[in-house]
Structure 1
Amino acid sequence: MCPPPRPSRWAPPWWAGVLPTVVLPVAVGVITLVGTLLTQPHVTPMRLLDAFGVVLLLAGPAALVVRRWNPPAVYAGIAALLVAYLGFGYPFGPVPLAAVTALATTLLTGHRAAAYAITAAAFPAVVLVRVLLRPELGFPLTGASGWLAWVAAFIAATELWRARRERREQAGAAAAEAERRRGSEERLRMARDLHDSLGHHISLINVQAGVALYLMDDDPEQARTALAAIKQSSRDLLHEMRATLGVLRGVDEEPPQHPVAGLARLDELVAATRTAGLPVTVEVAGDPRELPPSVDAAAYRIMQEALTNTRKHAGPARASVRLTYTEDGILMRIDDDGAGPGVLATGGGNGLPGMRERAAALGGSLTAGPRPGGGFRVDAHLLTAGVGR
């Protein structure tokens, strides 16, 4: 996991957000005015462009400044200005540019129904004004058809752009959500590892410290053995915590050098458990084979947590572990004959939920509860199908 980026100390100037809002309307206004003035000598308008015409001509581009405030209202207003401008008989040029820009903004902001409705009203109005002002020319069938085709093509291109932008936004949102979920899963995995490792090693240290204190005077040699076990267990705990904290800080460039949690450390786990005063027997059935790392680590952690819980809650007891390799994964059964499940009966703590989460993450299952004849039983089925090595 990479550390979050540092916030930038550079703050954009106040005009950085205003500039895009103003530049487009100014550009549209300049193009509209200059284009109309250049076109005027080549057309036969009923009325030459005057001051009032310039006001009508530039009112549409000016309205684009607030186009994102209410796109349908701005589009409707600009369309009305266009019809009014043409209705006064002023020369035609790139006059519809502001209306086309407002149409694009209305579509791109999701107001599709309003955009279609305003266009359906404005286009016939423009054609009608043309027919009323120049009846001697008749109905401009060719020109109207060409303009209608152009408007339809523009709308189709804008819709395609909008759809592609939405897909990109959705893909970005999905990628961000996937990254967030991966981060959450990684944090949960490390939290489970810390819980299991801390619980196991601290439980061993607590037991061995009690043995050392009890035998310090009567059996110094046994007390020395208990202290050696405490030293080894604390060293292992420090190694595992350093590896986990290194991942959290993102500072480890090389993989950890201490053994990775897995069934290859089963003998070590059993020996430490026996040293802590819990007799354990192990039985392996089926055809032992190398498991995917995620399954191997989950199997070890489940067994570690189950044995830790037995030491903490079962009282004087014996435990047995049975591993059965199957075609689709591995079956695990951890039994004890202690006085009872104690706190586990109420589901308290994080041990059982953590074990169930590990199994469920691999598509497997885990059940835990009192076993027939007394004691407690944990059954886990971890699947290897579909799990990468």
Structure 2
Amino acid sequence: MTRLAALKPPLLDACIAAVFVALTLGEAFGPSDAPWWRPVLGAIAMASLAWRRRAPLAVAAIVVAVNIATNPEGQFTTLLSLVLVCFTVGYETRPPQSYAGLAIVIVPFLAVSVRDSFEFSDAAAALVFFAGPWAVGQITRQRAAATEEALARAARLEVEAARIAQEERTRIARELHDIVSHSISVVTIQTQAVRRRLGPEQAREAEDLAAVEATAREALAEMRRLFGVLRSSGESASLAPQPGLSELDRLVEQATTGDLTATLHVEGEPVELSPGLDLAAYRIAQEGLTNALRHSGAQHVRVSLRWTPARLDIEVADDGRGLSDPPSSGGHGLVGIRERVALYGGTVRLEPAPGGGGGTRLVAHLPLKGPE
């Protein structure tokens, strides 16, 4: 049953073949002295058009052979079927099979024309009615393949972007865990120290501080349990402190190599940031420097921090080759930066450097929280 279903032609192709069969049989009832077997063979050849997309070369050979044997007068239906066959060969096959299919149609046509007193118009007809549809089929196939590849690439990029965003969110959660865990640990230690300094007359205060200490320890234990879900197998917690803008001088210095000069420029009065925001600002500058080192081919990159009472502006500009893709697509690192900036209600963009001289500029705006 499965093999029979595989041999069944598509409904549209079967309908087209039925139309050609009907036209061929209809021509046989016209004024003609042709023997009975000609329309029968012609109808069989036209019926084979139902399988033209599954076996384009075989169907082309059948239609051409029957056309030569049964259509010495050059009737319309079988000639029209050759046009359809040429388009199908061009669309369904690739070189060199497509060239072979075109030759199957054109060579016998020209051979018959030479035998029956060849004229230049015969060659022109072969080009227009046979090579033309074949070329259209080739172009259509190439465009369809290009469209399919573009759609597949877009789907792959969408999946990849989602994966990268998820990985970056997990990484942010890990870093925030380390920051918050450190803060809670400090609170616990300081609360314990204060409680131990209290005297017997302050028993109620000591009891309250003990409750605070217990709550802090419970919160820390719960965070560690949740963090265990985020960690990969075999991954251990980092003992190194999370970096911040205080480490930016060293980061810029490390980015300076023989081919690249990195500089840091600070405007305004710096303010103390929360640990998470401090880390996010550092990661933004780090991503901009990484792009300049790996991808831009730049000779100079400048990191700028602009402090205002309301926000912190971070800009990383280079003089490299510029953007090879539209700015909206960005790179893998930019996906992570967007996740970080969105966490603090900021904005980020990657754009060509101003002036039209090449280069890129990564600009991020991070709102600063007011004093509590």
2:22 aligns with 34
Q: 1:194 to 1:140 in 2, by over 3 A?
A: same
Q: Per-residue displacement from partner, 1:168-225 (whole Å, max 9, x unpaired)?
A: 2233123223322321232122112211222222333344445555765653657855
1:387 aligns with 363
Is the CA contact (8 Å cut-off) linking 1:209 and 1:227 kept in structure 2?
no
1:118 aligns with 101
Is the CA contact (8 Å cut-off) linking 1:208 and 1:226 kept in structure 2?
no
**How far 1:43 sits from its partner (Å)?**
7.6
Q: 1:125 to 1:50 in 2, by over 3 A?
A: closer
1:156 aligns with 135
**How far 1:44 sits from its partner (Å)?**
5.8
Q: Distance in 2 between matches of 1:142 and 1:359?
A: 62
1:53 aligns with 41
Q: 1:202 to 1:63 in 2, by over 3 A?
A: same
**How far 1:40 sits from its partner (Å)?**
4.0
- Note if 1:82 corresponds to 2:63: yes
State the SS of the aligned residue for 2:305: strand
Q: Distance in 2 between matches of 1:22 and 1:303?
A: 60
Q: Distance in 2 between matches of 1:31 and 1:52?
A: 15
Q: Distance in 1 between matches of 2:315 and 2:12?
A: 66
Is the CA contact (8 Å cut-off) linking 2:24 and 2:77 kept in structure 1?
yes
Q: 1:55 to 1:158 in 2, by over 3 A?
A: closer
Is the CA contact (8 Å cut-off) linking 1:330 and 1:383 kept in structure 2?
no
Q: 1:232 to 1:58 in 2, by over 3 A?
A: same
Is the CA contact (8 Å cut-off) linking 1:75 and 1:102 kept in structure 2?
yes
Is the CA contact (8 Å cut-off) linking 1:104 and 1:155 kept in structure 2?
yes
Q: 1:177 to 1:62 in 2, by over 3 A?
A: closer
1:166 aligns with 145
Q: 2:159 aligns with which of 168, 176, 180?
A: 180
Q: Per-residue displacement from partner, 1:247-293 (whole Å, max 9, x unpaired)?
A: xxxxxxxxxxxxxxxx9xxxxxxxxxxxxxxxxxxxx9642489xxx
Q: Distance in 2 between matches of 1:175 and 1:230?
A: 52
Unaligned runs of 5+ in 2: 223-243, 245-264, 284-302, 308-312, 317-331, 338-347, 351-360, 366-372
Q: Distance in 2 between matches of 1:184 and 1:155?
A: 43
Read off the aligned partner of 2:305 and give its amino acid letter.
Answer: Y
Q: 2:176 aligns with which of 172, 190, 197?
A: 197
Is the CA contact (8 Å cut-off) linking 2:89 and 2:102 kept in structure 1?
no
Read off the aligned partner of 1:63 and give its amino acid letter.
Answer: W
State the SS of the aligned residue for 2:136: helix
Q: Distance in 1 between matches of 2:217 and 2:349?
A: 31
Q: Distance in 2 between matches of 1:83 and 1:45?
A: 22
User: Equivalences for 1:174-323 in 2 at 5 Å?
Assistant: 174-209=153-188, 212=191, 216=195, 219=198, 221=205, 224=208, 228=212, 286-288=267-269, 299-301=278-280
Is the CA contact (8 Å cut-off) linking 1:25 and 1:61 kept in structure 2?
yes
RMSD over aligned Cα atoms: 5.0
Q: 1:224 to 1:359 in 2, by over 3 A?
A: farther
**How far 1:112 sits from its partner (Å)?**
3.2
% identical equivalent positions: 16
**How far 1:329 sits from its partner (Å)?**
4.0
Is the CA contact (8 Å cut-off) linking 1:286 and 1:325 kept in structure 2?
yes
Q: Distance in 2 between matches of 1:209 and 1:195?
A: 21
State the SS of the aligned residue for 2:20: helix
**How far 1:37 sits from its partner (Å)?**
2.9
State the SS of the aligned residue for 1:387: strand
Is the CA contact (8 Å cut-off) linking 1:25 and 1:62 kept in structure 2?
yes
- Note if 1:325 corresponds to 2:305: yes
**How far 1:125 sits from its partner (Å)?**
0.7
Q: 2:77 aligns with which of 82, 94, 109?
A: 94
Is the CA contact (8 Å cut-off) linking 2:14 and 2:50 kept in structure 1?
yes
Q: Distance in 1 between matches of 2:141 and 2:99?
A: 15
Read off the aligned partner of 2:90 and give its amino acid letter.
Answer: L
2:51 aligns with 63
Aligned length: 254
Is the CA contact (8 Å cut-off) linking 2:314 and 2:364 kept in structure 1?
no
Q: Per-residue displacement from partner, 1:4-42 (whole Å, max 9, x unpaired)?
A: xxxxxxxxxx9xx98994213322322222222333466
TM-score (structure 1 length as normaliser): 0.49
Read off the aligned partner of 1:77 and give its amino acid letter.
Answer: A
State the SS of the aligned residue for 2:70: coil
State the SS of the aligned residue for 1:325: strand
State the SS of the aligned residue for 1:139: coil
Q: Distance in 2 between matches of 1:178 and 1:200?
A: 32
TM-score (structure 2 length as normaliser): 0.51
